[in-house]
Every structure is written in structure tokens, then in C-alpha cells.
């Protein structure tokens, strides 16, 4: 458990140790701060790409994507790093938010059942207590997708909000939950320790297409449309830093990853961390651009969920913009 405790130990944001005098400061809200889900942001920070772009970043960490989004809605942060699907609910409520740079090409989460239970399929989860970061977060939506794919309904399980920190492991070990949906490296770490059996994963492009019916956008940076218009220089700087990190990631070796990512992200086991990264490597975006067909597939998958917005007619083209990513792509072309 000492190793897992590192999950909740926050890394010191660059802005706090070496702020740029006179540089714009932007606050990014996110969950699972030290997870591989946010690896492009970690790289952009520790490779100095935010500084190179002329901005100072402050991190606002939360236990789930829904809570991170809530802090942006309340004006506590400027940008949220999280699942693209949040935009469907925002647009439905008449809130003009857009994704402006893509970091992941898959949801990057897995569903696993406690090894202490004799369950061999997702169908066996009926009546089980299923741990998620929180309701209306990516882990919740993805868990529902696996349940539906296997003939169950979301109401066939009891969802338990466990966040994305060390409490996840405690909940699994003490029997508070029977199964868990979370990002890596936590899921891979638990799998390697034989504490869970993975029943479903959306790490690779192939597994994601199989579950979601096609390609979908994963983690993105999201902000109010008027912020993107008023603070276009800041949005461009953020996008430049992320796309720069994505380009670096394409040719980085495992040693490069270990040299750049702080040790507290490794869960006390660098081999397991690298094993988790290897499973996810192809899931990272290549150039930050968001594909329209991927957005449409994500919308179709989202409408399968109970109490979804299936009857709503959303202008999907308003959920994202490639204006900033297109410029960044040209700047960091190989």
C-alpha cells in the first residue's frame, strides 16, 4: 500500500517553482493527475514545453473527471483535461464548450473484477458493487458500455464512487467494491499484483473499435468557447505544448520516459509502469487533431446509455475546433 500511496502525492507544478514573469497563467482542472491518461500533459510540463510556449500552468487536481469539470463550470479553472464525452452533456445544457486539442485516441480505461471472487465474465457482475471515479465520468460511462455489451443494464450493478487515488485499492481490498473501472497505471498495477482480473479494456485502437463501434476521441483539453476566443493566444500556447509533447512521444524510448516522468508516478514499480505504458502507447494522439467521424462514433455510443441524450439533436461540429491543433501540427511537423 505504500507504493500506491504515491498516487495521491501531488507533483509540484512547474508554475509554482519557476513562474514566468509576466506570462499568462492558466489553470487546468483534471482527475487522476499522475495517471498515464494525462501523460502528454506530464511530458509537456517536465520537458519545459509550456514554458517554451510562454505560459505558466497551475494544476487543480480532483478525484474524477466530473468533479474537474464542475470546477471549470464554477470558474475555479480555465480549462479541463478529460473525456470528450463531457461535451455532449454541456452542449445539451446550452453551455458552449469545445475540445481544442486531443491527447488520446481511446478511452484508456479498463474494467476488472476482484480476483478473490469467482467471476469469469462481465455477466457475472449482476448485483456486484462496481467502483468508478464518480457518476457521469468516463469510468462510469465506459463501465456501462461493457455492461450493455454483455447483456446487463447499468441498474444491474451498484455503482460506488471511489475516485482515482489510493482509496481505490483500499476499497478493492476491504470488499467495499467487487469490481473496478479506472485508468492506468492503477489497473495494470492491480492486474500484475493478481488483485484483479481484467474483463474489458479500451486501451488499444482495436479493443476500442470493438466496444465503441469505431474510433472515438479520448482525453482532450476542453474550454468555454468564449475563453478560446478571448484567450486565443493562451489556447494556442497550450495546444503547441501538448502537440510538441505528442510529437516527442512518437520517438521516445522507455529510458526517455523514465527520465522525464517523475518517480512518484510509477507506483513504486517502474517495470510495471512501463508495462502499462506499453499497452497504451498507440492510444496517444499523433497531432492533436479531432476527427469528425470519431466524434460521431462517440455520440452514437453515448446515446446507447440509459438516460442518454438520444433524442437530442446536437450540433456535433460545435463540440470541437481544430483551429489551434492545425497550427500546432504545422509548427511541429516532422
Q: How high is the pLDDT of residue 116?
A: 92
* Range ranked top by mean pLDDT from 36-45, 168-177, 261-270, 302-311: 36-45
d(CA 19, CA 24): 10
Nearest-CA neighbor of 219 among 318, 302, 135, 105?
A: 105
Q: How high is the pLDDT of residue 324?
A: 98
Q: Which of 53-62, 114-123, 323-332 bottoms out in mean pLDDT, i.e. has the lowest? A: 114-123
pLDDT at 130 > cutoff 70: yes
Which grid cell is 171? 476499497
User: What is the CATH superfamily name and number for domain 109-209?
Assistant: Periplasmic binding protein-like II (3.40.190.10)
Nearest-CA neighbor of 108 among 180, 36, 31?
A: 36
Give 274-297 pLDDT, tens digit per residue: 999 999 999 999 999 999 999 999
d(CA 305, CA 145): 7
pLDDT at 166 > cutoff 90: no
Confidence label for 306 from pLDDT (cuts 50, 70 and 90): confident
Average pLDDT, stretch 317-329? 97
Confidence label for 12 from pLDDT (cuts 50, 70 and 90): very low
Q: How high is the pLDDT of residue 333?
A: 78
Q: How high is the pLDDT of residue 168?
A: 92
pLDDT at 118 > cutoff 90: no
pLDDT at 19 > cutoff 70: no
Confidence label for 273 from pLDDT (cuts 50, 70 and 90): very high
pLDDT at 190 > cutoff 90: yes
Domain ranges of the chain: 2-106+215-331, 109-209
Confidence label for 14 from pLDDT (cuts 50, 70 and 90): very low
pLDDT at 6 > cutoff 60: no
pLDDT at 325 > cutoff 90: yes
Is the fold of 2-106+215-331 the same as that of 109-209?
yes
Architecture of the 2-106+215-331 domain: 3-Layer(aba) Sandwich (3.40)
Give 94-116 pLDDT, tens digit per residue: 999 999 999 999 999 999 999 99
Residue 92 CB contacts under 8 Å (≥ 6 apart), including other chains: 309, 312, 314
| Inter-CA distances, 39 with 47, 212, 277, Å | 12, 23, 9
Cα-Cα-Cα-Cα dihedral sign, residues 281, 130, 126, 83: negative
Give 142-156 pLDDT, tens digit per residue: 999 999 999 999 999
Q: What is the mean pLDDT of the chain?
A: 91
d(CA 142, CA 46): 30
Give 84-96 pLDDT, tens digit per residue: 999 999 998 999 9
Q: How high is the pLDDT of residue 117?
A: 92
Give 198-252 pLDDT, tens digit per residue: 999 999 999 999 999 999 999 999 999 999 999 999 999 999 999 999 999 999 9
Q: How high is the pLDDT of residue 208?
A: 97
Amino acid at each position: 500500500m505504500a507504493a500506491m500511496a504515491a498516487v495521491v502525492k501531488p507533483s509540484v507544478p512547474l508554475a509554482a517553482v519557476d513562474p514566468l514573469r509576466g506570462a499568462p497563467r492558466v489553470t487546468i482542472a483534471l482527475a487522476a493527475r499522475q495517471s498515464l491518461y494525462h501523460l502528454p500533459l506530464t511530458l509537456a510540463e517536465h520537458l519545459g514545453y509550456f514554458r517554451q510556449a510562454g505560459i505558466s500552468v497551475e494544476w487543480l487536481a480532483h478525484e474524477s473527471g466530473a468533479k474537474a469539470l464542475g470546477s471549470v463550470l464554477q470558474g475555479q479553472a480555465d480549462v479541463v483535461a478529460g473525456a470528450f464525452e463531457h461535451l455532449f452533456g454541456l452542449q445539451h445544457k446550452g453551455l458552449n464548450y469545445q475540445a481544442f486539442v486531443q491527447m488520446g485516441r481511446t478511452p484508456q480505461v479498463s474494467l476488472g473484477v476482484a480476483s478473490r471472487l469467482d467471476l469469469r465474465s462481465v455477466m457475472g457482475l449482476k448485483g456486484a458493487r462496481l467502483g468508478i471515479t464518480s457518476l457521469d465520468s468516463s469510468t462510469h460511462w465506459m463501465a456501462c458500455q461493457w455492461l450493455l455489451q454483455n447483456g446487463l443494464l447499468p441498474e444491474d450493478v451498484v455503482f460506488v464512487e471511489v475516485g482515482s487515488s489510493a482509496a481505490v485499492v483500499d476499497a478493492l481490498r476491504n470488499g467495499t467494491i467487487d469490481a473496478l473501472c479506472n485508468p492506468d497505471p492503477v489497473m495494470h498495477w492491480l492486474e500484475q499484483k493478481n488483485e484483479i482480473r481484467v474483463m474489458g479494456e479500451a486501451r488499444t485502437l482495436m479493443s476500442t473499435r470493438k466496444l465503441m463501434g469505431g474510433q472515438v476521441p479520448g482525453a482532450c483539453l476542453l474550454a468555454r468557447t468564449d475563453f478560446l476566443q478571448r484567450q486565443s493566444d493562451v489556447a494556442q500556447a497550450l495546444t503547441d505544448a501538448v502537440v510538441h509533447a505528442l510529437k516527442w512521444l512518437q520517438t521516445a524510448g522507455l529510458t526517455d520516459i523514465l527520465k522525464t516522468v517523475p518517480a512518484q508516478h510509477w507506483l513504486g514499480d517502474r517495470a510495471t509502469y512501463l508495462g502499462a505504458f506499453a499497452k497504451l502507447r498507440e492510444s496517444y494522439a499523433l497531432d492533436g487533431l479531432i476527427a469528425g467521424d470519431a466524434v460521431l462514433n462517440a455520440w452514437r455510443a453515448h446515446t446507447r446509455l440509459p438516460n442518454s441524450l438520444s433524442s437530442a439533436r446536437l450540433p456535433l461540429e460545435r463540440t470541437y475546433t481544430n483551429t489551434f491543433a492545425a497550427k500546432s501540427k504545422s509548427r511541429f511537423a516532422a
